[in-house]
Structure 1
Amino acid sequence: MAVASLLLLSFLLLFASISSNSVTAARRLVGTADGSESWGYVEVRPKAHMFWWLYRSPNRVDNGSTPWPTVLWLQGGPGASGVGIGNFQEVGPLDTDLKPRNSTWLQKVDLLFVDNPVGTGYSFVEDNTLFVKTDEEAAADLTALLIALYNKNTALQKSPLFLVAESYGGKYAVTLGLSIVKAVKSGELNLKFGGIACGNSWISAEDFVFAWGPLLRDVSRLDSNGEAKSNSLAEKIKQQIANGQYEDATNTWSQLEDAILTNSNNVDFYNFLLDSADDPVSATTLMSSDTIRMRKYARYLSSKASSSTGSVDDLMNGMIRKKLGIIPKDVSWGGQSDQVFTALAGDFMKPRIDEVDQLLSLGVNVTIYSGQLDLICATKGTEAWVEKLKWAGLPNFMKLERTPLYCETDGSTKGFVRSYQNFHFYWILGAGHFVPVDNSCLALKMLGEITQSPATPASSSS
């Protein structure tokens, strides 16, 4: 039986069997009778509660030498829900219609989803002063979560943990990665750390905003006037970042997005081949307190998954809420938390290149992957910040030829990879911001290579 079919069966058996909606109940660990799923809350700080959901793959194999890996999926935003979006719209076992996903990552790994930072999705705070204001604070909360989950669970300890991040989640991944290394070394955390993979990740805002104008002119979405306006605002952002004026840089970033939309006739920031009108999420939403604009990508992913017609909001606040049985009555799931984004406005534009350098120097496996058609975290910008790394292996990495990548059922080129020592870069063709959705075949192939999954060919899907 397929991975998703088994999990669908466990969902149906469990549905309506759990009913409780108090904060006390929310602190319990709950799961399916067969152990294929477990979930719960961890109070990562007093009055700050983080929700997690772990799936164990029915394809797990133990060949004695290569342990079965676990992936902690880190969603972006900041303030986007991994439990809802990453799970039901990208890589989890079921889509928003609760139909099996043929490309689920459970074919290769166990999956741990979190609603991070606190205040996102089902996670909540009892006091609004407890929202995190920096990536380091988010990493501290996630480390507290991992300590609670791993230190008394020998089964989890045997499975190497990989952080796989999307969009702003990449900033969480690199700061969390350093926090994990420190906690493991001190004996505070008991786990095997496999490495990190940052997909279309907002590691260096400066490099991305400088990529927008030239890229869009190259593909004829901006003319020379539009490119000049874009570059002018990018220069302003660069100066504000250099001066440590990060909130001002966030506001200027909003102005730059407006200028891009105006001069390109509303290009889509997640796939520059599209118009915003072709992508229902592309319209920006003004925040109540300032001019920061955010992109709520749950609806975009729904539009990409043609087989899925269900609303993720309805699902998460309906059937899934009932299944989980521990969500407090006053907590409503939301795909994107405005409050979380606002709290992180001062850190949003802060680069995390140094953290990548530190991870590489510590010998941590670092993978970068980038969708060819993304604009918001364009490959051109990713390549620019990678070239700023101080890592000693960079010159040799840059000299290497790329290796073309294919999928088993299609002989056409699907991407490229370049690897040197503990650094790996994947170029994913035909994909925009959401690589697992746009090129699921190559995403699965890449996942197996990153995690060294012992999954057999028969349990894999292209």
Structure 2
Amino acid sequence: MKFSATTLTTLAFASLGLVDALVIETPFLNFPQQPLKLDFEYDKFASKLSGYLFNEERTNEFFTKVSQVFNEPLDTLTSETKQIWKDFVFNSKQFRNMRLTMPGKKLSQVVKQNFDFYVQDRKAVPNHGLRIKATPESLGVDAVKQYSGYLDVDDEDKHFFFWAFESRNDPKNDPVILWLNGGPGCSSATGLFFELGPSAIDKSLKPVYNPYSWNSNATVIFLDQPVNVGYSYSSKSVSNTVAAGKDVYAFLELFFRQFPEYAKLDFHIAGESYAGHYIPVFASEILSHPDRSFNLTSVLIGNGLTDPLVQYEHYEPMACGQGGYSSVLDEEECKSMSDAIPRCLSLIESCYKSESIWSCVPATIYCNNAEIGPYQKTGRNVYDIRTMCEGGNLCYTDLEYIDSFMNKPEVMKALGAEVSSFESCNFDVNRDFMLSGGDWMKPYHKNVIDLLEKGVPVLIYAGDKDFICNWLGNEAWTNKLQWSGSKKFSNAPVRKWEVNGKHAGDVKNYENFTFLRVFDGGHMVPYDQPVNSLEMVNGWIAGDYKF
């Protein structure tokens, strides 16, 4: 049996008496990728290990022991094993988190969570590892098989949390969907518990079964990204979509390597809001890896921010009665927004040309103040023009229940969470993307062109009562997108979209590009229109791109 250097190092620690007990979990489905679990007291272990680190004779004893006990040539192990040794000792934060195979301490919070799988492929995804936990059904979120865990980027101290739910129908054959919430800086727990996941959370902090969950006919993965969002954490920050995309690709590659039964299935990326930036870039990153171990079947973007240069023209008409809802601003305020549009668009054009923070940040600040600010001052819900904002920063009281649920100690323990607390949105991440990275106004719609030209189906759907990423702007940029089928798409007829015999929206399609206006949906379509939302996603993942 061929042991990895990680496994050899761990076993050597035990054989040298550096740990008090070694427990090997069975069965080993793909040994040695699944981890060994160690029971020990951290402080005693650290003290013993430091004695080896600074003593050359004892260090040589360590490597000799590895070679003798496991019958591996010393010269083939030394380089890789020394790097692991160095990782464990020199990076105290990494060491205390027991990166690789062991539970340990996370800063001031003691976390002794054991993960059931560990995946690492140094050639395909250098410096990345995936810890996976078979999440107990006792949480009551769903009765299906589910997994949670972390993608660890060891040399950058990044740790991304995910929670995956198998399909309720036929997990061996149903497709896989990765769901991403936006912000930037908001946890995908919002999608999980407020929109399209297996359960909602009520005021008593109990899961309430959702019969319209998207895992009705698909396995769905909810990922907290970028770092420092939700249960994800890091001592560093990510402030642009391109960098975030590389991390998401690494996560997917390792996830599908651990679960090859999912890798052969259709795979879709879906999300909303700032995912209008994320998804085109992430999908392009995936396509740039021809040796990937999974398919990319399609992408779905709901009420997204994708092409700001086109979309920012449509805040004024949406707020002022031209989007299918009566005006919520007076004539003077509407005129002020209209008058600011030329200056706003000029700034966004400069950002598109240079993609420099020196042009993109001013565009973000000016346009958001001029085109979104007047609406926000009314106190109305930016995610639903029909309602007033209530329930904290995100305007919905029920979202506060999710925060409370995710902060319950028993929930955090069951999921293997390694943070001291959970919050649905991290506004520091939001500011970093806007100001440090200048990411908000960048022309990521160009990546949609790349996807379409490579034959990847793209669905843009929009609830027509949303203000912040409204349907007028989304319809406009899809009509103006310059790709090989642009003329035929823009000239395609708008057709009725019917659900259960009712006119539920309007749809437009040409080849692999579709725009869907969802009637009476806000920013979060699955929340406002659960039946129609599930009908939409089921049709799309079944290959009905025309609806």
Q: For residue 307 of structure 1, what is the aligned residue in structure 2?
A: none
Mapped partners of 1:59, 1:320: distance in 2? 29
Q: Which has the higher contact order (CA 8 A, sep 6+)?
A: 1
Match for residue 353 of structure 1 among 428, 431, 445: 445
Mapped partners of 1:89, 1:423: distance in 2? 28
Number of corresponding residues: 397
Mapped partners of 2:253, 2:171: distance in 1? 25
Match for residue 252 of structure 1 among 342, 350, 366: 366
Q: Secondary structure at the match of 1:327?
A: coil
- Rg bigger for which structure? 2
Structure 1 residue 341 and structure 2 residue 447: aligned?
no
Match for residue 510 of structure 2 among 420, 427, 432: 420
Any conservation in 1 of the 2:185–2:426 contact (CA below 8 Å)? yes
Any conservation in 1 of the 2:391–2:397 contact (CA below 8 Å)? no
Offset of residue 280 of structure 1: 3.2
Mapped partners of 1:393, 1:208: distance in 2? 21
Q: For residue 346 of structure 2, what is the aligned residue in structure 1?
A: 239
Offset of residue 439 of structure 1: 0.9
Structure 1 residue 280 and structure 2 residue 386: aligned?
no
Provide, for residues 376-400 of structure 1, a one-character-per-residue CA deviation record: whole Å limited to 9, x for no partner: 1111111221122111212212222
Any conservation in 2 of the 1:108–1:447 contact (CA below 8 Å)? no
Would the alpha carbon gap of residues 195 and 45 (structure 1) be closer, same or farther in structure 2, given more than 3 Å must change? farther
Provide, for residues 300-320 of structure 1, a one-character-per-residue CA deviation record: whole Å limited to 9, x for no partner: 2727xxxxxx71111001056
Any conservation in 2 of the 1:50–1:124 contact (CA below 8 Å)? yes
Would the alpha carbon gap of residues 403 and 21 (structure 1) be closer, same or farther in structure 2, given more than 3 Å must change? farther
Q: For residue 226 of structure 1, what is the aligned residue in structure 2?
A: 333
Q: Which amino acid aligns with 1:370?
A: A
Q: Secondary structure at the match of 1:120?
A: coil
Equivalences for 1:70-85 in 2 at 5 Å?
70-82=176-188, 84-85=189-190
Q: For residue 398 of structure 2, what is the aligned residue in structure 1?
A: 302
Q: Which amino acid aligns with 2:192?
A: N
Match for residue 384 of structure 2 among 271, 274, 278: 271
Q: Secondary structure at the match of 1:358?
A: helix
Would the alpha carbon gap of residues 382 and 350 (structure 1) be closer, same or farther in structure 2, given more than 3 Å must change? same
Mapped partners of 2:528, 2:263: distance in 1? 33
Offset of residue 33 of structure 1: 6.7
Offset of residue 75 of structure 1: 0.3
Q: For residue 48 of structure 1, what is the aligned residue in structure 2?
A: 158
Any conservation in 2 of the 1:21–1:327 contact (CA below 8 Å)? no
Structure 1 residue 102 and structure 2 residue 217: aligned?
no
Would the alpha carbon gap of residues 344 and 45 (structure 1) be closer, same or farther in structure 2, given more than 3 Å must change? farther
Q: For residue 121 of structure 2, what is the aligned residue in structure 1?
A: none
Mapped partners of 1:350, 1:274: distance in 2? 30
Q: For residue 331 of structure 1, what is the aligned residue in structure 2?
A: 420
Provide, for residues 69-124 of structure 1, a one-character-per-residue CA deviation record: whole Å limited to 9, x for no partner: 11100101001000x21111111111113111121111121110000111100000
Equivalences for 1:84-123 in 2 at 5 Å?
84-96=189-201, 97-123=206-232
Would the alpha carbon gap of residues 225 and 21 (structure 1) be closer, same or farther in structure 2, given more than 3 Å must change? farther
Any conservation in 2 of the 1:204–1:385 contact (CA below 8 Å)? yes
Q: For residue 4 of structure 1, what is the aligned residue in structure 2?
A: none
Mapped partners of 1:445, 1:123: distance in 2? 31
Any conservation in 2 of the 1:77–1:336 contact (CA below 8 Å)? yes
Q: Secondary structure at the match of 2:428?
A: helix
Structure 1 residue 208 and structure 2 residue 324: aligned?
no
Mapped partners of 2:154, 2:465: distance in 1? 39
Mapped partners of 1:320, 1:242: distance in 2? 50
Offset of residue 202 of structure 1: 0.6
Mapped partners of 2:396, 2:199: distance in 1? 17
Mapped partners of 2:178, 2:397: distance in 1? 20
Any conservation in 2 of the 1:213–1:222 contact (CA below 8 Å)? no
Range that drifts further, 335-344 or 213-222: 213-222
Consecutive unaligned residues of structure 2, counting only runs of 5 or more, are 1-102, 107-111, 116-129, 138-143, 352-358
Q: Secondary structure at the match of 1:28?
A: strand
Range that drifts further, 173-182 or 318-327: 318-327
Provide, for residues 211-239 of structure 1, a one-character-per-residue CA deviation record: whole Å limited to 9, x for no partner: 11122222222333212211233333222
Mapped partners of 2:199, 2:385: distance in 1? 28
Match for residue 378 of structure 1 among 445, 459, 470: 470
Offset of residue 255 of structure 1: 1.7
Mapped partners of 1:320, 1:391: distance in 2? 50
Tell me the TM-score normalised to structure 1 length. 0.80
Any conservation in 2 of the 1:108–1:453 contact (CA below 8 Å)? no
Q: Secondary structure at the match of 1:334?
A: coil
Q: After TM superposition, which residue ranges in structure 1, 4 or more long, deviate above 6 angstroms?
A: none
Offset of residue 22 of structure 1: 3.7
Q: Which amino acid aligns with 1:112?
A: I
Q: Secondary structure at the match of 1:30?
A: strand
Would the alpha carbon gap of residues 324 and 248 (structure 1) be closer, same or farther in structure 2, given more than 3 Å must change? farther
Match for residue 265 of structure 2 among 159, 174, 185: 159
Q: Secondary structure at the match of 1:119?
A: coil
Any conservation in 2 of the 1:196–1:367 contact (CA below 8 Å)? yes
Structure 1 residue 452 and structure 2 residue 538: aligned?
no
Offset of residue 205 of structure 1: 2.4
Structure 1 residue 132 and structure 2 residue 238: aligned?
yes
Q: Which amino acid aligns with 2:396?
A: Y
Structure 1 residue 192 and structure 2 residue 295: aligned?
yes
Offset of residue 203 of structure 1: 0.5
Provide, for residues 35-89 of structure 1, a one-character-per-residue CA deviation record: whole Å limited to 9, x for no partner: 7001110113520110111111231166xxxx4111100101001000x211111
Mapped partners of 2:162, 2:431: distance in 1? 23
Match for residue 58 of structure 1 among 168, 172, 176: 168
Would the alpha carbon gap of residues 28 and 220 (structure 1) be closer, same or farther in structure 2, given more than 3 Å must change? closer
Mapped partners of 2:346, 2:414: distance in 1? 47
Range that drifts further, 94-103 or 216-225: 216-225
Q: For residue 23 of structure 2, what is the aligned residue in structure 1?
A: none
Mapped partners of 1:246, 1:301: distance in 2? 34
Q: For residue 76 of structure 2, what is the aligned residue in structure 1?
A: none
Mapped partners of 2:365, 2:298: distance in 1? 33
Q: Secondary structure at the match of 1:272?
A: coil
Any conservation in 2 of the 1:74–1:170 contact (CA below 8 Å)? no
Provide, for residues 350-391 of structure 1, a one-character-per-residue CA deviation record: whole Å limited to 9, x for no partner: 232211111101111101001111111111111221122111
Range that drifts further, 251-260 or 172-181: 251-260
CA RMSD of aligned residues (A): 2.4
Any conservation in 1 of the 2:158–2:227 contact (CA below 8 Å)? yes
Offset of residue 415 of structure 1: 1.1
